[in-house]
Structure 1
Amino acid sequence: LDIYLIGMGVACIKVQEYADINVGNAFFAYVMMTLLTLVTLIHLNLNQLWERFYPRTQPKTSPYEMKLCCACHYTGLPDARGRCPRCHTTLHARQPYSLQKTWAALIAAIVMLFPANMLPISILYVNGVRMEDTIFSGVVSLATSGNIPIAAIVFIASILVPFTKVIVMLFLLISIQFKTQHSLKTRMRLLRLVTWIGRWSMLDLFVIALMMSLVNRDQLLSFTMGPAAFYFGAAVFLTILAVEWLDSRLIWDAHATGNAEYTD
């Protein structure tokens, strides 16, 4: 909701060059709903909810025999079918093919980012004249028109965040593959960072969707998405999958193995 709210602001700033924009009462209601939703999510503790509605006693066994459920964060022994006794998700010591799936999604995202930044992402028809904008040219046009803060937000969300995610994920995967001796805390913080910032890459897609719904006056003024929108959306989706598929416990395993080899 918060990203969509910023997308509405960016779309309104782009549309105001061609039409007058007035804020209605529903906008203030949406802002209040966004703020209340954010406060609710901040104070919501999923682990407490699981413990309250589906309490489970901790089994008295060796810690090496217990497994962690990545869905409900229950730590214990699997049932007879190898599932979590609380949410019935299949338990694994490590997620199967985590590295392979993460590498595949990340490489595909890197391939998609090239046409996403080179092809036009938005096409505007003004009195029959076709005007195309890439992601970068859209940022430049916002900056030259005096909307530097909005241009900075779009640049961070649409250019800086996707490339930062790719670089961080490459660093994490290489450190796992080669069992490097980098700081464990730093790597875990980087993983949490890319998990949190991933959704902000959707800002440009929200702006395009809003512009398509707001700007439609047939031959006089019309807005449509360019071919880069598909590639950009695919790149965002693939980077989100790459982060989700990476089992963070592999970072701990690589660190422990690297320390053991260094000690030997």
Structure 2
Amino acid sequence: MNLRPVLLMLERLKEWVMLDIYLVGIGVASIKVQDYAHIQAGVGLFSFVALVILTTVTLSHLNVEELWERFYPQRPATRRDEKLRVCLGCHFTGYPDQRGRCPRCHIPLRLRRRHSLQKCWAALLASIVLLLPANLLPISIIYLNGGRQEDTILSGIMSLASSNIAVAGIVFIASILVPFTKVIVMFTLLLSIHFKCQQGLRTRILLLRMVTWIGRWSMLDLFVISLTMSLINRDQILAFTMGPAAFYFGAAVILTILAVEWLDSRLLWDAHESGNARFDD
């Protein structure tokens, strides 16, 4: 039985499992609709909380490297060689097989990821363009007693702050602070690679790890909107729907996640080795 596709999928699974963010979205949406309806927790909510806890514990203790060693053991390289390659799929360091593939997961091995910078720049610039309408256009529309009320991301946070400042702070961090911080950090990392900055490597690696972890939390606002739509639907009396900014915001979040995934971190090491010293840690 070929388990390689399953193990490769597990490598990327942690980034895209967002049950914990969805749970926070349930709490935010419940607080948001308190002015329009009475929300009471059911048995399904407690079951979902248990699912989130079990999933988080499972993923935190899941060691994919041990699974690779168990099912597809390979002898590690014992000496440094220019022909050694690092596989980005299973993180095995060794020599390519006769077809130029990783001997463990059978992914083609290359010295550096093909078109990494081009794809990363394209995704980053596109996300910057999309973030403008995402923050200027209405992201949610409420129809109440025949009236229409539109909210942008910022106005929605301000209205939420009037009832619960802590929840509004969470939404502000996830919907505004995280996306723009991620764009600024990625822009800085790409410029450091372009100008071959030698110093500050440790800081840049830490920044890359940070944006890899925080990027998924930008999906919180979209989860809140989708949950609010399911909670509020009373036809002509009360209705809630997404605004045009929701599409732009969702696309921008996905593009920033892809930009981080497409960036070959080894390019930072290349710049560190070949560039001129400009900055210090």
Name the TM tier (shorter chain).
over 0.9
Counterpart Cα distance in 1 of 2:276 and 2:109? 27
Report the secondary structure of 1:131's partner residue. strand
- Aligned pairs for 1:47-62 (under 5 A) are 47-59=65-77, 62=80
- Aligned pairs for 1:241-252 (under 5 A) are 241-252=258-269
Counterpart Cα distance in 2 of 1:184 and 1:63? 23
- Tell me which residue corresponds to 2:160: 142
- % identical equivalent positions: 68
Structure 1: runs of 5 or more not aligned: none
Give deviations 1:15-49, integer Å, cap 9, x for gaps: 11101000111111111111111111111111111
- Tell me which residue corresponds to 1:233: 250
How many equivalent pairs are there? 261
Structure 2: runs of 5 or more not aligned: 1-18
Query: Quick check: 163-172 or 53-62, which moved more?
Result: 53-62
Q: CA RMSD in A?
A: 1.5
Report the secondary structure of 1:222's partner residue. strand
The equivalent position to 1:5 in structure 2, one of 20, 23, 34, is 23
Give deviations 1:46-76, integer Å, cap 9, x for gaps: 1111111111112456432110110111111
- Tell me which residue corresponds to 1:254: 271
Deviation at 1:259, TM superposition (A): 5.1
Report the secondary structure of 1:130's partner residue. strand
- Provide the TM-score with structure 1 as the length reference: 0.96
CA contact (8 A) 2:130 2:249 kept: yes
- Provide the TM-score with structure 2 as the length reference: 0.90
Counterpart Cα distance in 1 of 2:178 and 2:88? 26
The residue identity in structure 1 corresponding to 2:268 is I
Counterpart Cα distance in 1 of 2:252 and 2:276? 35
- Tell me which residue corresponds to 1:126: 144
CA contact (8 A) 2:199 2:277 kept: no
CA change 1:47–1:156 in 2 (3 A) is same
Counterpart Cα distance in 2 of 1:180 and 1:69? 25
- Tell me which residue corresponds to 2:16: none
Report the secondary structure of 1:123's partner residue. strand
The equivalent position to 1:207 in structure 2, one of 218, 224, 248, is 224
Counterpart Cα distance in 1 of 2:118 and 2:156? 36
The residue identity in structure 2 corresponding to 1:104 is A
- Aligned pairs for 1:3-152 (under 5 A) are 3-59=21-77, 62-145=80-163, 147-152=164-169
